[in-house]
A and B are shown apart, each in its own frame.
Chain A
Amino acid sequence: MDANVSMLAKPAVTSWRPGLAPLGWATAAALLALLPTLVDSPAHLNLLILMLMAAQLGVAWNILGGYAGQVSFGHAAFFGIGAYASTLLGLQFGVNAWLGAALGALAAAGLSVAIGWPCFRLKGHYFAMATIAVAEIAQVLFTNWDCAGAAVGLTIPMQQQGLRVLVFASKAPYYYLALGLLLLSLAAAWAIERSRLGYYFRAIKDEPDAARSLGVSLTRYKLVALAISSALAALGGSLYAQKELYIDPGSVLHTGLSIKMALVAILGGVGTLFGPVLGAVALTGIEEGTRAAFGGSGRGTDLIVYGAIIVAIAVFQPNGVVGWWRGWRARRAARSGSPS
C-alpha cells in the first residue's frame, strides 16, 4: 500500500489537483483511522494525541486570531472553563461527559461575549493585553474556589468507564475523540472560510474602517468570532480533562497554554485552514523532543524554544509554514513557466 502511494505521488507534483486530490484525501483518512493500530508504544500514541489536541486548539484560536485578526493571549481561560464545566457537572450532578462538554462550550461562548463586549473597545496590542488579564483573573479565581477543588484540583474517578462518561483505560479511544474534535473544528473553520462570516472576518482584519463603510458591524462580528473560537477551545478543554482525568488551575488555566494556542496557529500560518495542524505537529514534536532530551532538569526548555520560534517567525516568515510553502510553490511555478 505504501508503494502504491509513493507511485501515485510522483505525477501529483505537476497536476495533483484534478484527479488525484480525492485519492490523496482518502489515503490520508485511512491512514489517520488506522494509525492507533499501527503504533505500538503508548508513548508514541500519546504524542499523536497531543498533536491532534494542539492542532484543534490552534484551529479554534485561528478563527478569532487568524481570520478575524483579533490576537488573544487568554484562550486558556476558555479551555479551562470547558475542562472545569464538564468535570464539575459530571462530579456534582452526574451529567454525562458529552452533555457536560456541550454545556461547557456554551458557557465559554457566553462568558467570552460578556468579556469581549468591553475588551473589543480596545484595539490591537491593547486587546491582546486585556485577554492576558482575563486569563490571569480566571486562574486566580479557580485557584481559590473551593467548590472547584481550588489549588488541589479535581480528579475524575475511573470506576465508571465507557462512552457515556468518556473514561477509558487505553489511549486509543482518546485518539479517535481528539481526531473527531479536530475534524469538527476544521469543518467549522472550512465552513466559515466560505461563508459571509469568513469574508467579514477577513475584511475586519485587513481594513476595519472600510469594513464598517460596507455595513459590517465590527463589534458584532468580532464577538461572533470570539464566541465560536472560545466554544471550540472549551471543547478541547473538556477532552483534555477526560484524557488526563485530573485538572488543576496550573494545568488547564496557565498562561503558557494561551501562548501555545496562538503559537501553533502562527507557526503554521494564521488565517489558513491547515496551518494550525502543521504548526501543532512541529511545535508538539519540538516540545516533546526537548522534554525527552533534557528530562526533568530541562523544565522550561520548551519556553525557550517558544521564544526562539517567535523570533524566527517574526524575522523570517511572518506567514508561517503555509506561507513559506505557498511562496515556494509560486516561485517553482514561475521558474518552470507553466503554472498548470
Chain B
Amino acid sequence: MSSLLRVENLSKRFGGLVANDDISFEMDRGQIVGLIGPNGAGKTTLFNSIAGFYAPTSGAIWLGAQRISGLAPEQCARAGVGRTFQVARTFGSLSAVENVMVGALLRDRSVARARAHALALLDFVGLAAMAGRAAGTLTISEQRRLAVARALALKPQLLLMDEVMAGLNPSEVHEAVAVVLKIRAQGIACLIVEHVLEGIMPIADRIVVLDYGRKIADGPPADVARDPAVIAAYLGDEHAA
C-alpha cells in the first residue's frame, strides 16, 4: 500500500552547481526501477543522497516510515539501504567470502554464522567457486557481483546498484540481469543506475529519467522510450518527433 522509498522534492547543490533539482519519485517493495540519463544528469548524486553519502540541500527521503535523508551511510545501511559503487571497491586484503562477511556481520555478530550466510550469498550470485580466492584477483564482472552479494548480506529492503552492467560483455550482462531478477524475487526493491539500456529496459517495472539534475520522465519502460523529452535528452532536440 504505502511505498517503500519516497523521494520528496530533493535538491542537492554543490556551491553554484545544482546536481539534483526538485526531484520526487516513489518506489514500491519488490520493484525494479531504472534510473537513467545522460552523463552528468545527477544520477550518482541522487544515489549518494539516498545512501547517506550526501546530505540533501533540501527535500526529504523516506524509507517506509523512517526519514533517512541526512543520516550517515552506516545508519542508512542499518535502516535497510544496500548499495554498490561504480567501481567495485573490493576489500583487497580479504577473500571473496570475507568481503561478504563484512556485510553479514552487521546483522549477526557470530563470525561462523556470518560465514555461512556469506557462502550462501556467493552461491546466489554464482561465485561459490571463488569463495576462498583473494578478492582482488577476481575479474571485474566477478567483483561487481561480489559487491552485490556484499550489499545483500545487509538484508536490505532497498538495493541501489550503480552501473552493475557497465563494461560487461553480452553474456555477462545476461548473468547480471538474471541476478537482479532473483533479487527482486526475494522482495527486495532495486534502484539501478544504468547506461546499458538493453540490460535495464526489459526488466524494469519503471524508468526514471534525469537530465541536467531534473526529472524529465517517469513511467513504464515502453512509454519512457517514446517520450519526446527523453529522446531529446539522449539524441538532441532535432531528433524529437
Contact = CB atoms under 8 A, between A and B. Distances in A.
Interface of A: 194-196, 199-200, 202-203, 205-207, 209-218, 271
Which 5 residue pairs of A and B lie closest in terms of their CB atoms, listed nearest first? A215-B77, A215-B106, A210-B89, A212-B73, A206-B91
Contacts of B92: 206
A212 B74 contact: yes
A213 B151 contact: yes
Given A207-B91, A210-B89, 15 more contacts: A194-B111, A196-B105, A199-B98, A199-B111, A203-B91, A203-B102, A207-B90, A209-B53, A212-B72, A213-B51, A213-B74, A214-B106, A215-B103, A218-B74, A271-B93
A202 B105 contact: no
Contacts of A203: 91, 94, 102
A199 B151 contact: no
Contacts of B91: 202-203, 206-207, 210-211
B213 interface: no
B154 interface: yes
Interface residues of B, number: 30
B239 interface: no
A207 B89 contact: yes
A217 B114 CA distance: 18
B212 interface: no
Contact of B101 (A199, A207, A210, A218): A199
Interface stretch (B20-28, B78-86, B168-176): B78-86
B82 to A, nearest CB: 7
A195 B114 CA distance: 11
A200 B102 contact: yes
Contacts of A194: 111
Nearest to A209: B89
5 contacts: A199-B94, A200-B105, A210-B90, A214-B102, A217-B74
Contacts of B103: 214-215
Contacts of A214: 74, 77, 102-103, 106, 150-151, 153-154
B105 A199 contact: yes
Given A212-B77, A217-B74, A202 B94 contact: yes
A316 B77 CA distance: 40
Contacts of B85: 209-210, 213
Contacts of B114: 196
Nearest to A196: B105
A85 to B, nearest CB: 33
Nearest to B135: A206
Contacts of B98: 199
Contacts of B89: 207, 209-210
Nearest to B99: A203
A215 B94 contact: no
A210 B77 CA distance: 11
B233 to A, nearest CB: 29
A215 B78 contact: yes
Nearest to B108: A196
B165 to A, nearest CB: 19
A160 B85 CA distance: 63
A284 to B, nearest CB: 27
A217 B71 CA distance: 12
Contact of B93 (A195, A202, A217): A202
Contacts of B101: 199
A203 B77 CA distance: 15
Contacts of B153: 214
A177 B101 CA distance: 37
Nearest to B53: A209
Contacts of A210: 85, 89-91, 147, 150
A183 B80 CA distance: 41
Contacts of A211: 91, 102
